[in-house]
Structures are given as C-alpha cells and as structure tokens.
Chain A
Amino acid sequence: MMKIGFIGLGKMGSGICANLVKKGFDVVVYDINPATVRSFVDMGAAAAASVKDLARQVEVSVTCVPMPKDAAAVLLGPDGVLENLPVGATHFDLSTLDIDSVQQFEAEARKLGKHYMVIPMGKGPAVAAAGEVPLFAGGDRAIYDMFEDSLLKHMGKPVYMGDVQAGEAMKLIANLMGMSINAICSEGIKLAKRMGIPKESFIASITDSGAFSYQFMNTASGTFDEDFDHPVFTVNLAFKDIRLGVEMADRINQPVPVMTAARDQFKAAAEKYGDENFTATFKML
C-alpha cells in the first residue's frame, strides 16, 4: 500500500485524512496543532517531526491549509514539500487557492521532477468526513488516471476538470455561485417574512419551484429563524472564497457584476459579523 503524507488537519482535512487512516492506508501526518496530531496517532497514523521529514518518506503528499500564503509556506523553499518529495512523487492540493498560486506550484513541482495536482473540495466538513466530498481534479490526466481508483475515490468523489487552472477555477466558480445564490435567498426570505408568508409553506413551495437551490435547501430554515450563531462556515471564510473568485474574473477581464455585488455584501458583513454563519448577510438587509 502506498505511503501518504497528510499536512493540515483542520475541519476539512481531518475528515478526509481520518477516512484514509480508517481504510488502512499507510498515513503519516503533520499539523501545527500537536493535540490534533496525537488524535491521529491514536487512530493509527504516524507523526512526522516536520514538513520536510514528512515529504522525504512518502510517495504521495496531500495538503489542506486555509490561505494561499499558508500553502506557499508549506510547499515552497528548501524545507518545503516540493523540494523534499522523492523525484516522481505526486502532490495533491485540497486547499482553495488562487489561480496564480496553483500555476506557480505546478511549475515549481515540474522543475523538480515531481507532479502537482489540485483537488479542491466542493462541499463542507460534514460531507468531507462522510467521504463524499466532490474533488475538482486539475492537472495531468495521466496522473489523475493513475490515482483515481487507488486514492482519490477513497478521499471523496473526484471529477476530472482539466488542467490545474480548470480544477481550481471550478472550485472558485462554485463558491462564487453558491455565495451569490445565498445572498439572493436571504433577500427572498426577508421579503417573505415581511409579506407574512408562514415559514413551512414558504419552504415547501419554494422547494417545488424554479427558485429552489442547494443553498435554499441547506440554509432557508436557519435563515428564516434568524439563527446565525451556529456557524457551519463563517462569513470570513465565505468572503475569502468569493474574493478569490472575483479576483480570478478580474484577472481575465470578465465582468461578473452580480458576483461582484455579492462579494461586496459579504465584505460588509465580514466587518460586522465575520465569525457568524455565512448566512448572516441577512443582517445587512
């Protein structure tokens, strides 16, 4: 069985990594939080002393870190993953990153004789833990084919999107669309409440109409109750994702006025309610 190195055991990464350990993969982990590392050691994983130590002993590495600067810190430089992986090894990046970063990481990996693929995730922590998270794979098709059954299907539900740009773009576009639709749902719910439409009939009827969406299904009840204090995903994280998406559109000079307005709405909400659930843009209305 291949030996896998896993770096970044936060909300998303821990679910996926735990599945790999439980399925019997030979996994070595690294995280800045020692308590999290200990819980994985208890589960049966090995612990690495550093990123460098981890990269040197695996055939495949996986990272799942919050921000582009965190990814650069782990992947690049003399102590980074790419430098220290064996030649011919493959790195899979679960993190949500900007297009420039993934292109830079891919180029750097190629220069060192290693493979770099992006597999950003299409849904949240609960789905990741259930092993069902969509993975938007971007990179070399031959590498994808090599790992699709042997590894990626054990991490989630992979879909091959194209090159690294296409894989990362799919994730950013999915975020842009999802967050924009969410802001739209909030306005609709605000209006429904003001018009005196009862919650149950509103939700049941929208569900059977052209207005239905994944966002509505997932958030309408909580938004109707104005419950924003139990975040599954914070306004701050939503703003980060949608900001990266609008930046991508700006870089290719593609105007996306509605998504840009949604970005501004999340920005304003982040300044006031950043740690609340991402549906809290409702409070701006």
Chain B
Amino acid sequence: MKIGFLGLGSMGRGICRNLLNKQYTLHVWNRSAEKTALVAEWGAIPFPTPEEAARGTDAVFACLSSVTALREMVEGRVCAALRKGCVLYDLGTWDVASVLELEAQAARRGVVYVHLPMGKGPEAAEAGETPLFFGGPREIFDRDQNLLRDIGTPLYMGDVRAACAFKLITNLIGLSNNVVLAEGVRLAKAMGIAEDAFMEGARCTGAWSYQMSNSGRKLFAEAFLPMRGTLDNAWKDMKFGVAMAEDAGVPCPAFTMLRDRYKAASEAGYGQEDYIAVYRLLNKA
C-alpha cells in the first residue's frame, strides 16, 4: 500500500516510523528539507512538493502545524493529484469551523476528508500507541482498520465535528492539568520535597495525572528541552477550545484562565519552548 505523508514534525515523524516499520511505501514531503532527508534515511521516498508526494497514493496523511497551509493544499493541487474517493487523513488539531470547511472543500474535489487528531505526544506516536480520534464515515473507519492500527489506537468518535470537539476538550483538560502540575512541582520544590519523594508520593494520590507521568520529572529538573510540542502550539489549542466553549454558550472560567496562562507565557518569550515552560511564569514572580 502506498501512502503519502505531508508534514514531518515530531508527531509526523513518529507516525512515519511506524508506517515504514510496517513496510508501507511512503512518499513524504516537508516544508524544510532536512527533516525530509532524515525520514528518507529510514526508507521513505522524498518529494519536493506536497502534490508530488500525494500523487498515485492510496491514502494521504497530513500532519501540519498550519491550517492555512493545509487549506491551500486541499483547495489546490494536492486534492487534484488524488484519485476520486481517496482518503485524506488530517492528523492536525484545528477549530471546528476550519475542520467543517476542509471536509466540504475536499468533498467538492472528490476526496474523503477524515479528521484524525492524535491523543498523545511524540513518544506515544513513535511507539505506535497514540490514540487516533476518528471523525468521518464509519465505513472508512471499518475498511482502514489495519492501516490505522499500524500507527496507533483508532477510536470512532462520529462525524468530523464530534472528533474535533472531543480533541479540543482533551487538550483543554490535558493542558490545564499541565499547569496544575507546574504549580504543584513549584510548591514542592519551595517546601523542600525531593523529586523522588514527590513523584512516589503523588503517584498514588488524587493528584496523579497522565501529565505527571509524562512531565513531572522534566518540570522538577526545569528541563524545557528537548521540545515535544511548543508552548505556542499549546496556546493555540487552548484558544480553539475556549472559542468552541464560547460558541456553544458554555461558560468555562477555569479553561479561560488557563488559556491566559499560556498566553502570558508566550508573551513572556517562552512560546518556542516545550509547553511545560508555562512553569517559568512561577519562577519569575
């Protein structure tokens, strides 16, 4: 099976690694060439443009950080390069309106748009263990089970809107828990609690979260590198989520405040660091 893959950031590379391990023929494109070269070393075939990477494939995955770039591809030559009925899997996280628009534009060009946001970070993507929140036709979900299981854990959420809403809520909760963790770690350090004692003590209490397993020790070490996802990207996800809540008329005081913590951290100059750098706001004070 021939797969096109557009966008080779840390999440995209993790998914590519799994596709290559499972012996798919992989056509890749990335905006900057050095990441393309890296994935080509693993066995992928590099292409200079997204439409060339997409042409002649059985399915295309897009894992981009800009919805504008994706929209241009869907409305332009990428969809034109695809066979009728071909599936475009969008792994990105966007606002509800953009996702509905992408679905409509793809359909106009004979392409099936599936919204497939991912539930965890780069480590999980690389391990082939990222949850995939599927939004699109049920028959495609059933038909492509093997492909989807080769790259993660597919979960059928409903239409594209349902998958999008679910993913935004996941981000709101996860990224909010991350800020709570940052405050907890800051307090623990200030009160003279050692890292191992804190991790062991909190692991078996109501304070535990996935974020703690994932980032607790990094926060204790104040290690904001290596980068997993940028703080600016986290802020973007919080903005999408709060905007959705506002459109739905659901007041979310905590999420709104937490969005503003990411905003403040970005404005303080931490936008291109790992998203746990929201912690730095606590050191400054």
Interface residues of A (CB under 8 A from B): 99, 122-123, 134, 136, 157, 159-163, 165-166, 169-170, 173-185, 187-188, 190-192, 194-197, 201-202, 204-206, 208-216, 218, 248-249, 252, 254-259, 261-262, 265, 285
Contacts and interface: CB of A to CB of B under 8 A. Distances in A.
Contact of B191 (A174, A180, A209, A248): A248
Contacts of B191: 99, 165-166, 169-170, 173, 248, 252
Interface of B: 119-121, 131, 133, 153, 155-158, 162, 165-166, 169-174, 176-177, 179-181, 183-184, 186-188, 190-194, 197-198, 200-202, 204-211, 214, 244-245, 248-255, 257-258, 261, 282, 285
A195 B193 contact: no
A70 to B, nearest CB: 23
Contacts of A255: 282, 285
B197 A159 contact: yes
A167 to B, nearest CB: 9
A174 B207 contact: yes
Given A170-B201, A173-B184, A256-B187, A212 B207 contact: no
Question: Chain A's interface: helix, strand, loop or mixed, by majority?
Answer: helix
A90 to B, nearest CB: 21
A261 B248 CA distance: 23
Contact of A160 (B156, B176, B186, B197): B197
A169 B120 contact: no
B216 to A, nearest CB: 11
Pick from B169, B174, B258 the residue with the most CB of A within 10 Å. B169
B193 A210 contact: no
A122 to B, nearest CB: 4
Contacts of A188: 169, 172-173
5 contacts: A177-B202, A184-B173, A194-B249, A206-B173, A258-B176
Nearest to A208: B131
Contacts of B250: 190-191, 194, 285
B170 A258 contact: no
Contact of B169 (A181, A183, A192, A285): A192
